[in-house]
């Protein structure tokens, strides 16, 4: 099983075997030396990309695919990564030759389609970039003549991706509306701060069943959590250039953490609500109930 490289960096090289250690034998395809040898401790970015590329007889472990696709964006933009994966596949499988070796492509095709499917399902936001979709379509067009089923797989993949992105866009629009409403409420509070305070109502006067209230708050919580992609956590804590503390690794790459930030705002509002409800009773005994 592959282990997450410690000190993952594009400048690291594959660890050399010691004098008494046998070098891992090469397997049926690129990256087999990593698959059949000891767990990965360090490797160059090129080697890790090669280990991601499937062949007719090799497919990377699911844990490796997820970990690498998630962390690699710290060192290489997703469009460039997909481009390099496609280039390696074309070179290794000789997809630029005519005619294609149909039998060979049919062994390799399901593996690369599985990788692309995992990528689109796990990190759909990467494919908001038209370049990503272009790379995906161009590559599948190369292997599709060998099996008509590949066309169907591509159409299903793109359809699911489109639906997922549309749902995410709808969620982001709702986040914007909530933010605008919150700003409007804040403005009203400032405008009416000189007026007598209205009659206060505790939340149980609106929903007198604590269980139902907890359920509704849980639904809202899960809705916010369901929108957060794993890449948002990486992008939120992306390393910055040590020479420029204001710029991330890719100066042209904007942080796409709107869902994570929306969840933080929701969590803070919920904390304020709980604190307000506790502090509303005048007596300490009532607050402790």
Dump pLDDT digits (tens) for 251-266.
444 457 788 888 888 8
Give the span between the Cα atoms of 274 and 213, in whole angstroms.
12
- Please report the pLDDT score of residue 197 as a whole number: 53
Task: Provide, rounded to the nearest whole percent, the portion of the chain with pLDDT above 90.
Answer: 31
Give the span between the Cα atoms of 203 and 220, in whole angstroms.
16
Q: pLDDT at residue 172 above 90?
A: no
- Please report the pLDDT score of residue 22 as a whole number: 43
204 vs 125, residue with greater confidence: 125
Report which secondary-structure segment, H or E, holds 262.
Answer: helix 258-279
- Average pLDDT value for the chain: 76
Does residue 266 fall inside a structural domain? yes
Task: Provide, rounded to the nearest whole percent, the portion of the chain with pLDDT above 70.
Answer: 70
The residue out of 105, 140, 165 marking a domain boundary is 165
25 vs 56, residue with greater confidence: 56
Same domain, 152 and 220: no
Lowest mean pLDDT among 52-61, 71-80, 246-255: 246-255
Task: Identify the CATH number of the domain in which residue 153 sits.
Answer: 1.20.870.10
184 vs 289, residue with greater confidence: 289
CA torsion, ordered 47, 52, 54, 57, to nearest 10 deg:
70
The domain of 283 spans 199-288
Could you tell me the pTM of the whole model? 0.67
The CA-atom distances, in angstroms, between 39 and each of 6, 160, 265 are 11, 35, 41
Does residue 245 fall inside a structural domain? yes
Name the nearest CA neighbour of 102 among 156, 59, 145.
145
Same domain, 41 and 146: yes
- Please report the pLDDT score of residue 16 as a whole number: 42
């Amino acid at each position: 099983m592959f282990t997450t490289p410690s000190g993952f960096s594009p400048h690291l090289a594959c660890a050399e075997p010691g004098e008494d250690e046998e070098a891992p034998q090469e397997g049926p395809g690129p990256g087999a030396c990593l698959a059949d040898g000891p767990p990965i401790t360090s490797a160059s970015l090129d080697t890790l990309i090669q280990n991601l590329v499937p062949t007719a007889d090799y497919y990377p472990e699911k844990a490796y695919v997820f970990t690498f696709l998630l962390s690699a964006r710290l060192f290489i933009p997703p469009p460039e990564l997909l481009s390099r994966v496609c280039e390696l596949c074309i070179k290794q499988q000789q997809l630029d030759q005519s005619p294609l070796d149909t039998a060979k492509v049919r062994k390799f095709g399901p593996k690369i389609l599985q990788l692309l499917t995992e990528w689109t399902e796990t990190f759909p936001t990467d494919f908001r970039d038209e370049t990503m979709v272009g790379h995906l379509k161009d590559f599948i067009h190369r292997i599709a003549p060998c099996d008509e089923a590949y066309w169907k797989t591509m159409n299903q993949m793109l359809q699911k991706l489109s639906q997922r992105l549309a749902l995410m866009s709808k969620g982001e629009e709702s986040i914007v509306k909530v933010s605008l409403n919150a700003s409007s409420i804040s403005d009203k509070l400032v405008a009416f701060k000189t007026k007598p305070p209205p009659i206060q109502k505790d939340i149980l006067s609106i929903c007198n069943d604590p269980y139902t209230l907890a359920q509704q708050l849980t639904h809202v919580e899960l809705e916010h959590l369901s929108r957060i992609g794993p890449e948002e956590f990486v992008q939120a804590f992306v390393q910055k250039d040590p020479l420029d503390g204001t710029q991330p690794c890719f100066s042209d790459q904007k942080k796409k953490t709107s869902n994570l930030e929306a969840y933080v705002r929701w969590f803070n509002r919920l904390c304020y609500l709980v604190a307000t409800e506790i502090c509303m009773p005048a007596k300490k005994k009532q607050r402790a109930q």
